[in-house]
Structure 1
Amino acid sequence: MNRPFLTLLATGLSLIPAFALAETLPLPLSGPAYTAANEAYSAYERKDYDLAIAKAREALRQRADVTRLNTLIELAERDKKLRDQPQPLAASRPASAAPGFVAASRGFKAYDREQFGLAAQSARKAITQAPRRREYRLLLIDSLQRQQRLEEADRATSDALGVFANDNTLLMRRKAIRRQLAVPLAIQGYRALEQGNTALAVDQARKAVAWAPEIAANQQLLISALLAAKDYPAAEQAAAGSLALDDRQAAPWILRSYARDRQGKLQPAQADLNRALSLPGLSPSERRDIRLFAVDAALARGEPQHALEQLQTQGNDDSDEVTRRSGAARAALRQKNKGPNSLAQFPPPPLECQESTFGLTCAIWPGSSHDAGTALASQAYAALARKDPATAVALANQAVARAPQNPAYRHLLVSALTEQKHLPEAITAASEGLQTHGDDARLLVMRGRLRQQSGDDAGARDDFTRALALGSLPAYEEAGLYAAIGQRRTARERLQEARASGELASVSDLQVAYLSMQAGDDEAAHAAFRKADASTPLTTTAAQDAAYNAMRLHEDDEAVGYFKRVIDGQKTAEAPLSAQQLFDTRRTVGDVSRTIGLTSTTSYRGNSSSGLSAAPGTSSSGSESNDLLQNSTELSWRPLGYRNGRFVELYGRITDTLWSKNSDSDTGADALQGALGVRVKPFSSVNIMAALERTFPLGSSNVDGDWLVRLGYGSSIGTDLRVDVPSWWTSQLYAEVGHYINDSRDYFNSEWQVGRSYAIGGTGSRWVTFPHVVAAIDYDSKMKSEAGGGFSSGDAGGIGIGNNVRYWFREDVYNAPRSYVDLSLQYRARVFGEDRAKGVFARLTYSY
């Protein structure tokens, strides 16, 4: 039996994002969290601010979702400051509770005792005293919803939006409330339609659509009720309204086609069916059902020849449904019956809905009959919509058992198992479906995605390749699959074909952005993110993806803007970032926005020759002991910005030997040198830096200027601050090779540190200590000499132990700490080469 045409993409599945938008009402406090919160409010009322803050934080530790306690902490800290450090203008004004807070605290306590009527009454009083306190308005809305006083809750939400315009939480709450208001109306309308009371069905459906027009099931009900009442002009108008909201689903096109056909608008009716057939994502079975529906329309109009022409598109299909229609068309031709058949022979597509507390889950069935699994599948879709995947799996298994030849039920089963996080079982179900139905593009794609998540990249690639070979997927979906198998050029070509053919018109701008990113077309993704954001502000997750996309295009200011929105949106985000993820985002803001840097390092090398620690261009005997204190201060500028980590820096440096144990060495003004240069970091993900600089004497230094070419490499793990753990492993390696052109002098130096960093004072502290082991190697061709019968190799290597203490500072809401002071102390033992490899090494670094 042919698979029935399920319009669940237009009805049932549309409930899933609808319910995802609806916020869960905050649960009343109970147990220890309730006790702590109650004590916090009481302490605040008697002006014991320290206890109020402590108790509120304890309650938050146990119930982090009760964000209203943050307001209590904020007010307690404010009033404590006013009490302990009164300002001149406020000195004569005694500290008192914030306006409305006493009433609100009573309301919060009542809410936690599930006395929602009293909570609403207290919230109204608090709002009167402090109308711009958003949490008081949310308390009123929550309390009214808990009492199912939904129309009052809707008015309260609208009042709140009058004060907090475009507040995303309030907008979502109002949408959720209105959907709740629509549920009983839609259910009553469907029951009336089943009982043949079309007038009541139309009335209730209109009310449901008025409350929640974005729910496709409500629109389906209204159109079907108007068709049942044979009010075809009104049905056509209702279908047009549904299409104005979303024209990417087949159901409203089919229903409007029927309404137009019944009015004799044959060309527009056929145009609607053609549009339904052209929608991306339809399976061959779905296209077959629409064509059979067109055959029924032709037979009803008395056009058997046209019906036969439509049937010829079915090829070798010898199913009962095709055979029955072919026989009817040929019989009509033989009888030369050119008059239209009765309307009863072409009824509107039947509507079948399943009721739930979330509303209706509906399907229409054009061109085919129900099968034994239809009712069970509808219930399974309803279970998925209400986030009950276990029930959906059980029902989908029953539907498959009753109608094993219907691939839609296999798709449903795989989706339900995936939602249940049972990936191996979902892969098995997809494989069984493919064995039963042969290569099915949808099942192949579903199994491929599951294999990807399971780490089976080779299996995923095979599934995607087989799905692409079938050629039945929309071009934009094929683009995503080509990107997944690494053929990004082909992915971009397919995406461009979809854009040129108008196929992307039915795809959201945000989806286009992600498809473009997968295909490696960052410029197209950037434009699509902008367009999506202009129509509906991006979620925090999408804004973060848009930020990284902008970074790759060197749109630094725009990237920073997106990242700041991500940071601002954490309080209302459905899936907020962890503390470390938020810190890393703030670190990225600082890195991308930085254009100027200042670093000053003062270093001490005990029992060492001057070598590379001396100012470039100086010389000293490699065998001579020389304790040195040097300073190097550098100012840098990035004229082109961050460029996704491939930046160019112009820099200037001043180097001086402040003190030397060797009296023959130049110090102070005699050792003062400068340098101007440019360095380039050519790769985003590899820390390689190339530099060219001109060194020159300053002060009374008599060292000749020179040209220096440098190449450096660095690799590090755990060198940045962590805010989620008290300690972490740390490793940092740096190596540099350089050549002085005029002096024909080569050098190399490297240092590798491995140890464990500890936050001094615990997790989140800005003080960090880093005990470590160190290995260092350096070489200087100028120190390679033969003198007095001895030989100096010019190289030196040592290992030892050390400790760094670093303090991070200069941070704000959007930027992680951008500056630090670091004190490093090491002792190294010589392993090979010159004696300069051993001794005490100290560095004090200031980085701005």
Structure 2
Amino acid sequence: MKRLAPLVRPLTLAALLGAGWNAPPAWPQAAAAVKAEAPLRGRAWQLANQAYAHYQAGRFARAASAAASAIQLRPDLLRLRMLLIYSLQRQGKNEEALKAIASARAAGMDEATLQQAETNVRAAAAGGAAAGGGAATASEAYNKAFPIATEAYADYNARNYADSARKAEQAFRLDPTQGQWALLWIGALEAQDQLGAAIEAADAALSLDPPNKSDLVAKRQTLRRSQAVLPAQKAYQALIANNPAQAVPFAREAVALAPGTASHRLLLITSLMLAEQLPDAEKAADEALAQDNEDTAALGMRGYIRQRQGKTTLANEDFDDVLKQDWLDEKQSANLRLIAADAALAAGDAARARALLAPMPAQDEAVARRLKQADGLRPGRDTPMVADTRGASQTLAMADYPPPLQDCRDTPYGTVCELQPSDAQGAGGPSAQAYAAYARQDYKAAIEHAQTAVEQDPDNEQLQKLLTTTLAAGNRDQQGQALLRLDKSLSLTPNDAQLLMQRGYLYSRQEEPAKALQDFRAARATGEAPAGAMLDEGYALAGTGDSRGAVRTFKQAIDLDDAGTAKLTPGQRENARSAVSGYSREWGAIVSLGYRGARPAGRAFSDGILTQAGDAVFGTAEAYWRPSNFLNSSTRIFDVYGRLGSTLHDGGGTTLGQSAIDPCTGLPINVQAGDNRGISGLPTTTGSLGMRFTPSTKYALTFGIERQFNIGSATRSGFITPESPQLRCLMSGRDPLNPTGPALGNPISAKYSAGAGQGGWLAYVTHGFYEGTGRRTDRSSWFTMEGYSQAGYANQSMASRFTLTDQTNGALVGDGSGRYKREQWFFSTEARIGRSFRADGINQGLVICRGQVFSDIPIGDVRSS
């Protein structure tokens, strides 16, 4: 949730009424008559703004003076003239008000509006009705209704609002010409917080054609704005809880109830943007600007959202337009320049970024930081990185291009907002700083600022929830404090879906899935939980080990989304499908091929001959079983597996022309180069059966043990090279004591051969790291990195037959039986870095990754005997 601060902008009459001001009867007609009027700017806007503020505060003389001055600058605006007329009337200067009406007529203003204003002024001058209604004449209906209305006023003053509403309705229906009784009826319902009933009463009253229709229309608009407050509050709470998808429907409801309230529209834009629904967020910004084409915050946010989608030209147009608004003060203009420069940098347009920053002091920290970023762009990126034809699937990630901060506050003329750069710090008070710190994941600072905000305003419910949210993101002790606060809040309001969801998330973070599951189910039972709550319930079920129940829940969520009942975001739907695939998989198979190009020779053993390996292709096939109700959960993985591996092709090796050490003399000798044939196919086949366990996916550590089987003949037989130089000398047919003397015999070789199925044991621990390995729906390509580090111990002890063979004539010199033993401590690591691409044109689920592989040769201590 970004922080929200003051943005002063021209106020249309509709926005003024939306703030709940006590509007004179003819103002709604004036609003309808001036829809096409040109907007106020500059000094005229300032004077008009002052006039409206004075009127709201009851300073009618000053309101009239400011309005008259504004009219001198903009005599064509009916709304300014209406403000002057009623400012004069409220002072009792009815004759001056009538002169102002005559002046407006002479200027060609709307006659119907002026006629209604004149009627109201003359009625007021004549004394009017006691409660401000039209000049009603005594009639039988009036005489019958008046005593009932009198009782209704008495009940209202006694705060007996239910009886007041009932009697006021009765009186008004008896005599609909008494519009003030309709207002009493509505006001009594409003005093009981029955806003829906009050709006229905206004509709009913208007259907009876009262004389004060304009008052009733204005009142109905005010009620709708009041009714919009609750869903707006729920939307803000959802954003505070870092659940923008849940905020969206509440924000839409607030806008539907009060479409003229700019802060609600900005709330909807922000909620959609944070929920990664960028096309809908842009549409919401379009609608906000259709309501008020000079809404600075909406225009700036639309520029940001367009840049996120790669619509660079349109984004630049929005930022250029917002910088042309001449009523912005120096600070607002500077902030918007920084925001526009951030967009240019995100597009790779260093030249535009420098141009935007040129009017600002280069020594300013924020300016200097952006100039440095512009200088760091690679050559050739001084133009937009992408064309405007780029699809929405290639959007910029919010982490790569953070949104502007919002700083909003209530004013006498409504809630107004100001945009600030994403890296702005220290502005907007402790609560705003807490929001900003939380957004950049600086949870320690967020907690400190939230605590300060609560200390300054301990009765503010929203700040208390903010503190709870920040504590929940802290360390174990701070999470405990958050849990106590949530327990206390839920003891007062046990059916608060948001609090239940928040506590469920906290339990999940503390690895208590059973408790989280209870809270998620309780939140759904209230009927007010977001669609994503079903997914949270599924993950909690998986956390308890009930993978099958989790799969059923995820499938139900997808079915409801298909039916239009559950509104999942594309990302939520993709995660649900992946979860179904993952948790329903109780067995599987993996087949892989690997290619190794020719590589340099490694270190020889015992001063032996160096051989350079050639090209080779390896194949591996693995099948595994993952029992659903044994050890497995959303954070634990246990597999039993079997694996076969083989060399499918071996290009052989090359013995290099080199010098080697003669084992008899210890002197170097020359070795001629030569080629060696490689072995591939069935003789190279190995197998293994094993089990592996990941106790916590959070730490990505896997422990495994397997029994290895040497199936192919080449894997269980081979030549033996003694470690002792004396033995190697004897096997060469010479005397170690007299190496230059006559040969003792022909050279001989030693070989071992084990039976099929002989093998050994392998124990290992693996740490994996992954980034961008999942399929993304918000971008068509993304950075990908994965790798592992593995350490372990291998031990082979095979019953074998050992033979000595004459290398000259192939005769068997000797044989025997024993055990061939080999043990090794090893460590290896590998990393794959590249970029993944969605191949939707081939298959919706296909992802292609291209990149580079970095690996080292396994190292360790090898001993054979």
* TM-score exceeds 0.5: no
Decide which structure has the larger Cα Rg and report it. 2
Class of the TM-score when normalised by the shorter of the 2 chains: 0.3 to 0.5
More helix by share: 1
Q: What TM-score, normalized by structure 2, do the two folds share?
A: 0.38
Q: What TM-score, normalized by structure 1, do the two folds share?
A: 0.39
